[in-house]
């Protein structure tokens, strides 16, 4: 039986009827067609499905959509501003921190959550903040540099 929920996604309010066994990741991708959120392992180990739930990064494959009732969700589509790419996204482009791109939405969101709380993190803080997001291409160095460059600019 579907249950009605009210959820804010990228500052837009939605009223959705979801099955209790639907994950937040599937709700975002299948119901809202926001496919920037990636699905990797489905078991909370890779971080590709990272979204911000009430400002905190979580694995959306381990959250039930109904549990997001009355909560605030930000996906990668909500990071860009009317002025264009978010500084973190811009830094990823400039530093070449993207290769295949599958981990990128999660990386950007984990980095955003970190910088929102601590505008000047050191390298260890950054590595710790993205430790739940796996990247199989770049070896993390450029990702860390990209986040550092945003922190330096602030």
Partner 1 sequence: MLIPRFNYHRPSTIKEACEIKAEFKNKAMFLAGGTDIIVNLKRGVISPERLISLNGIEELRLHSVDGRNGQTRIASCGTVSGLIREKFMLPYSALITGMESLGSPLIRNMATIGGNLATARPAADISPSLIAYNAKVVLTSASGKREVLMDDFFLGPGKTALNDDEILSEIVLDNPSSYAGSAYIKLGTRKALEISLVNVAAFLTLEKPDGPITGARIVMGAVGPVPLRARSAESILVGEKPGAALFAEAGKAAASKDSSPIDDFRGSAEYRRDMVKILTERALKKAVNDIR
Residue 47: partners with Cβ closer than 8 Å, 6 or more residues away: 40, 59, 103, 106, 107, 110, 130, 132, 133, 134
Question: Residue 7 pairs with which residues in a beta bridge?
Answer: 14
CB of 82 to partner 1, least distance (A): 29
**Residue (11 or 21) nearer to partner 1, CB:** 21
Full DSSP string of 88-119: HHHHHHHHT--SS-SSHHHHHHHHHHHHHH-S
**In the complex, minimum distance from the CB of residue 76 to partner 1, in angstroms, rounded to a whole number:** 15
Q: For partner 1, give the closer residue by CB, 1 or 152.
A: 1
d(CA 12, CA 41): 28
CB of residue 77 to partner 1, shortest distance in Å: 19
| Cβ atoms < 10 Å from Cβ of 13 | 8
Closest CB to partner 1 among 48 and 150?
Answer: 48
Q: Which residue number, 43 or 152, has a Cβ lying nearer to partner 1?
A: 43
Interacting residues toward partner 1 by CB under 8 A: 3, 19-23, 42-45, 47, 50, 53, 56-59, 61-64, 66-67, 110, 128-129, 131-133
């Amino acid at each position: 039986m579907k249950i009605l929920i009210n959820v804010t996604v990228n500052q837009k309010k939605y009223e959705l009827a979801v099955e209790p066994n639907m994950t937040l990741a599937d709700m975002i991708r299948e119901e809202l067609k926001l496919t920037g959120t990636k699905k990797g392992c489905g078991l909370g180990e890779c971080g590709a499905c990272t979204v911000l739930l009430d400002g905190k990064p979580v694995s959306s494959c381990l959250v039930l959509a109904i549990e997001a009732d009355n909560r605030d969700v930000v996906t990668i589509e909500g990071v860009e501003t009317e002025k264009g790419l978010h500084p973190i996204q811009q830094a990823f482009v400039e530093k070449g921190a993207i290769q295949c791109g599958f981990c990128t939405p999660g990386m950007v969101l984990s980095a955003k959550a970190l910088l929102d709380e601590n505008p000047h993190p050191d390298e260890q803080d950054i590595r710790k903040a993205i430790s739940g997001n796996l990247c199989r291409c770049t070896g993390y160095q450029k990702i860390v540099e990209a986040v550092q460059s945003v922190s330096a600019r602030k």
